[in-house]
Amino acid sequence: MMNYSFYFYTYIFLIAATILLLIGIEIALALSFFINNDLYKKYENLFLSMWEITGTSIVFFVVQYEALLPSLLIPIAYSFYPLIFIILFLFIFRNIGIGFFEGKSINKEYSKRDILIYLFGTLIMAILLVSILSTAITGYGIKIINGNIVWGLSIIFNYFTLLLLLSTILFVLGILGYIFNVKKFKIYGLMGYLLVLLDIYLYENTIPYLFIFPLIVLLILTFVNLKDLVQRILFIIVHYLNAIILATLLFPYIFGTININSLLSQSMPLLSAEFIISIIIIIVVIGIYYFEIKTILS
């Protein structure tokens, strides 16, 4: 029999991994404006259009979350509304900024200040998203009282989140190396991954042997010169493989102690329908992403 709870648990991890990857690419391209302007010019169209793909992924995540875990929708929306409001504000704020970029890009008029404003909004949004993700994994920084989630600044200022944030910064720099082939930045991606492994070890008191496979691939990507396309494909595969391994390690708990089976619908017809719909959506979304990115780059 299909283990729907594990499938949907992993499914949510993969959607979150997609959002982090897309935001990482956005930040990496913005940084390239200051680090390697030739690289920025080469991928300028991708930078100006990437927000559409990221926005689609975020909406996709929210819709799937609402369908799969409806009993968590109200407590999380009610408890985290200040953070959710800030994230939405920054998302709209930076999208408006990109609108200005697109207008100015015709005459190449946008400046470092414009890019810095965009970077600031995106970085703060990424920090909040990573903090919420960290809390959803560990439960650090929150208390559940009478069905309500009470949180404080400790959702950010705890060792797990801070290490995850640092590794995310290094991950973004690694994207410049692995996806955009700025070789000197590859080592940062490897360092970021080692920090993730340290974070997992401190939380679980163990590191599953499965993580050795992504580590080996990253070592090859860091120190061996491969064709750009091969390098990109392997890096993306490693990114999603890590999400699957992490989901396997943490299943079935969210917020550290809550069993997802107690929240997921137990209606087999509903779960079967959601499973089929999720497969269709994955195929459609991958197709849309592929053709949109291909069109932008061409």
pLDDT digits (tens, 9 = 90+) for 258-283: 898 888 766 777 788 888 888 887 88
CA distance readout (Å), 92 to 52, 86, 179, 286: 12, 10, 27, 24
pLDDT digits (tens, 9 = 90+) for 14-28: 888 988 998 999 899
Per the DSSP assignment, residues forming a β-bridge with 253 are 259
- H helices of 80-227, where? 81-104, 112-138, 159-178, 186-204, 212-223
Give 69: exposed, middle or buried? Use CB within 10 Å, 0-12, 13-18, 19+: middle
Per the DSSP assignment, residues forming a β-bridge with 148 are 145
Domains in the chain: ranges and CATH: 4-297 (1.20.1630)
pLDDT at 232: 92
Distance, CA of 207 to CA of 202 (rounded, Å)? 9
Is the bond leading into 252 cis (omega within 30 degrees of zero)?
yes
pLDDT digits (tens, 9 = 90+) for 208-255: 899 999 999 999 999 999 999 899 999 999 999 999 999 999 999 988
If you ran DSSP here, which 8-state letter would residue 246 be given? H
pLDDT at 278: 81
pTM reported for the whole predicted model: 0.89
Distance, CA of 209 to CA of 232 (rounded, Å)? 24
- Is there a contact between 94 and 58 (Cβ–Cβ < 8 Å)? no
pLDDT at 260: 87
**Residues with pLDDT less than 70, the chain:** 1, 65, 97-110, 147, 265-266, 292, 295-298
Vertex 67 angle, CA 61 and 73, to 5° = 80
Size of the chain, expressed as the number of residues it contains: 298
Phi, psi of 254 (to 5 degrees): -125, 155
Per the DSSP assignment, residues forming a β-bridge with 258 are 254
pLDDT at 297: 61
Tokens linked to 293: 């990115």
